[in-house]
Amino acid sequence: MFRVQLACTFYSPQNGSKFPQLRFAGFADAWEQRKLGEEAQLTMGQSPNSENYTKNPDDYILVQGNADMKNGRVVPRVWTTQITKKAEKSDLILSVRAPVGDIGKTDYDVVLGRGVAAIKGNEFIFQQLGKMKLTGYWTRYSTGSTFESINSNDIKDAKIMVPVEEEQQKIGAFFKQLDDTIALHQRKLKKLQELKKGYLQKMFC
């Protein structure tokens, strides 16, 4: 059974406060408001020519948008022989077109289509971006009456609250442990569902 080994749980500062409502023991400094572009390097995507798209896993993995991510991870679906903009393994992938703000990680070097951007950020930044999606942060900045999108300036100028590096690491590790536990139980659930389906097929006429 998963147990949280913490003195306190973490929440981001609210309503302009520079201090979280709850935090890890041993930290008391105020958080600082920064622009995301000051904390992490950004690469906007640029789609390859469509005639270069393939289904060959030996080619370069192409990430075009939310359809290429599942449960916070890039899932290879389309490949390309043309390199435009690239992201490296462990980079964060942000959807910049509807649905705006979905965030994932890549376990591969990938080519970036125009529907995504790559961010070189730590686990704390990843969790911060996830919270921004949940709270509807990006919908205030998305443009277009029929097709929502955000641009590089929207991302670079996004305001985030940042603690000292050590606190960032503890917060990131805590939420990563939660995410890993969720993923483990999701895999177990899927296996149990498949097992039940097999029993139903064999035990009912």
142 and 201 part of one domain: no
Residue 12 banded pLDDT, cuts 50, 70, 90:
low
Per-residue pLDDT at 10 = 46
Q: Note whether 128 and 196 are same-domain residues.
A: no
Provide the pLDDT confidence category of residue 198 given band limits of 50, 70 and 90: very high
Is the pLDDT confidence value at 1 over 90?
no
pLDDT at 5 over 70: no
How many Å apart are CA 97 and CA 151, to the nearest integer?
Answer: 9
Per the structure, the complete domain to which residue 15 belongs is given by: 1-31+163-205
Q: Are residues 56 and 1 in the same domain?
A: no
Q: What is the CATH number of the domain that holds 60?
A: 3.90.220.20
The pTM score is: 0.85
pLDDT at 142 over 70: no
65/122 same-domain check: yes
Spatial contact of 116 and 45, defined as CB atoms under 8 Å apart = yes
On whether both 15 and 38 belong to a single domain, the answer is no
Same domain, 100 and 152: yes
In angstroms, rounded to a whole number, what is the distance separating the alpha carbons of residues 117 and 152? 8
Number of structural domains the chain divides into: 2
Average pLDDT rounded to a whole number, residues 109-137: 95
Taking residues 170-180, report their average pLDDT. Answer: 95
What percent of the chain is modeled with pLDDT above 90?
Answer: 78
Q: How far apart are CA 189 and CA 191, in angstroms?
A: 5
Per-residue pLDDT tens digits for 161-171: 999 999 999 99
Same domain for 171 and 117, yes or no, is no
One domain for residues 123 and 140:
yes
Query: Residues 13, 83: one domain?
Result: no
Whether the per-residue pLDDT at 144 is higher than 70: the answer is no
Cβ burial of 165 (10 Å; 0-12, 13-18, 19+) is exposed
Residue 58's SS3 state is coil
Helix or strand or coil: residue 42?
A: strand
For 60, residues 6+ apart whose C-beta sits below 8 A from its C-beta are 79, 80, 81, 82, 83, 109, 110, 111
